Structure 1
């Protein structure tokens, strides 16, 4: 979620830099999904079968979704400072509803290229939409209430891993959708399936935490105190991750495994659960994000100028990068000898399980896509800064 146009002149560059880095790295994971030979048949995070570079390629993208959601909460707080509580709440509700529709209609189509929507995929934009709706309601109570509830959700939702799932089919489905979903496929009818890959509330907790620290960024707050707060909180959060991972008792549904190989043990230590975002996963990623924000607020160089372009228009970038990647996939599909009879695949059309290239080729395609999107993002960033149409607040 972007800060309103009224705040453009007061944007804190570190937020756009971090968000831009997240968007760039995120595209690597989606490029791997579409183009890597083993993406449909192997787990890149399995210490027993993966390689170091393949593990890193997948693991580094773990930072994208939680930081994106966290910064969406932070931006929601900043945006609310120039609205009445009622207007801020209504805007969050409308934007959240809009994002849910976009996930179903636009992003799912970009992912699958299936015009019949036989398999609708619900991922990060889905949970951001629901989280904004919940934030719209909770922010009317108080800023402190949002922060406290966010902490309770993030610290407490892994308790569901300690108990067997409920027996009732309806209750079990609700628990999956709101707390534990990964790969939950819901049949809508004989020809249409709904894939819920992101459980709602654990991500809502992360957004609420972002909204909570938004107070450190409001106008008039000391930059030095903000940096100190971010450094202390980020360091303690990283320490929490290390402590929980070492004791191996709580905070992740997939406990750390011990191997006879030091390198595999290292991979296992950092192989925390994203689906849903465990406490350990959240501590590892959000702690790192806060430290990054602390040390980059005054960054000004070519790197910050480039990354902040992507970070200033994340929604625009997110949507078009799927369509660009999938268009390249269609070209590669035919160029490598596949035929029309092999188009229909689950979940992605034009993506047979035996299709794909080396990891080196994946990186080349990823870099090319990032470069290709720079000028469109730069243009749209400028357009948003110089135009005031109402719909620009939603993209």
Structure 2
């Protein structure tokens, strides 16, 4: 495969990843600006609307897709390194991401200078997954890592049928690694640690991505790669539809006929993200692989815009959170709320009162403005990183 072909492959990954990052920003804008974000569940089919459900549902594609693409990128970045060098980098970057989660991202979430709650969310899962992947890279082949990843993805829902004593040590360990839907543990200083993302199911997705990275080696023909991605994506999507229709294994939340066809439709697609069920993963990663296949040669204007964000995912992730929360703070204080109301100890996120917010149309407008505002900063940073090969830039 020529150098141009290699660049094309990287461009296609950046394009899809950029689209994912843009969609991700919608969910975070909704969290801070939608009127019912902290008072109602957008996936509760008894109270939600079709467009509100879709607004939340479409963002389900973001976290698992980012995990899988990170696995592919880890494989590609290791092509010119030894296994030990690749392993060392992944482990160090994993710990770095966990540190960033505990410090910079926890503050971005809450704007709470006391760090009363430490949030362990997507960067925590990403960091732990990189550490586990780094360990496996030292002694396992990409094919073996792919198999391990698939075992985790297809097998972890077996624990849905295992019952242990609530809040026992085993229960806590299982919740952190496999089964938790949001586990909050007290700290010795009076605060809490919130384990919002479990470890192993997400690690399985990243490991699978690492194994899929072999499709992007120089000796793999582009047409064969596109066909493999397309066929695999279709198979995963059909498997999701079949398993979901059977309403058995693969997700602890079963669907059920409702009093309207819309609600029944929503019930069918309302699968579990916390932790990511097998059906959640199939539903999101099947279409992702199809998208990778179809965008292999994309060079239109939209693909170029998405790739700007896709080349600097960490930079975009960090800056968009701080931008959104800062805009929330400014809007709340300028809307008549007092500092006391904005900093109320009961608030999950500071400067985000429970009764604050706008309709969904306004949320979409703010989302577009946030994404547009970060286009040129992302473009600048992407070009800066391309010009400078300083070691620390590889951690960003």
TM-score, normalising length: structure 2: 0.96
Q: 2:301 — aligned with what?
A: 302
Q: 1:151 — aligned with what?
A: 150
Deviations along 1:203-256, whole A, 9 cap, x unmatched? 000001100100001122100110111011101100110011000011001111
Q: 1:331 — aligned with what?
A: 330
Aligned length: 389
Q: 2:121 — aligned with what?
A: 123
Q: 2:16 — aligned with what?
A: 18
Aligned counterparts of 1:144 and 1:319: Cα–Cα separation in 2: 33
* Alpha-carbon contact 1:25-1:60 (below 8 Å) kept: yes
Q: 1:251 — aligned with what?
A: 250
SS of 1:12's equivalent in the other structure is helix
Q: 2:84 — aligned with what?
A: 86
Q: Is 1:46 matched with 2:44?
A: yes
Match of 1:29 among 7, 12, 27: 27
Aligned counterparts of 2:102 and 2:329: Cα–Cα separation in 1: 22
Q: 1:341 — aligned with what?
A: 340
Q: 1:4 — aligned with what?
A: none
Describe how 1:35-114 pairs up with structure 2 within 5 A.
35-114=33-112
Aligned counterparts of 1:124 and 1:355: Cα–Cα separation in 2: 26
Describe how 1:285-324 pairs up with structure 2 within 5 A.
285-324=284-323
Q: 2:274 — aligned with what?
A: 275
CA shift, 1:168, in A, is: 6.2
CA shift, 1:261, in A, is: 1.2
* Alpha-carbon contact 1:70-1:209 (below 8 Å) kept: yes
Ranges in structure 2 where 5+ consecutive residues have no aligned partner: none
TM-score, normalising length: structure 1: 0.96
CA shift, 1:12, in A, is: 2.2
CA shift, 1:170, in A, is: 1.3
CA shift, 1:190, in A, is: 4.9
SS of 2:374's equivalent in the other structure is helix
Deviates more, 1:342-351 or 1:330-339: 342-351
Q: 1:135 — aligned with what?
A: 133
Distance 1:8 1:242, change over 3 A: closer
CA shift, 1:162, in A, is: 1.2
Deviates more, 1:51-60 or 1:167-176: 167-176
Q: 2:390 — aligned with what?
A: 389
Q: 1:224 — aligned with what?
A: 223
Ranges in structure 1 where 5+ consecutive residues have no aligned partner: 1-6
Aligned counterparts of 2:67 and 2:306: Cα–Cα separation in 1: 18
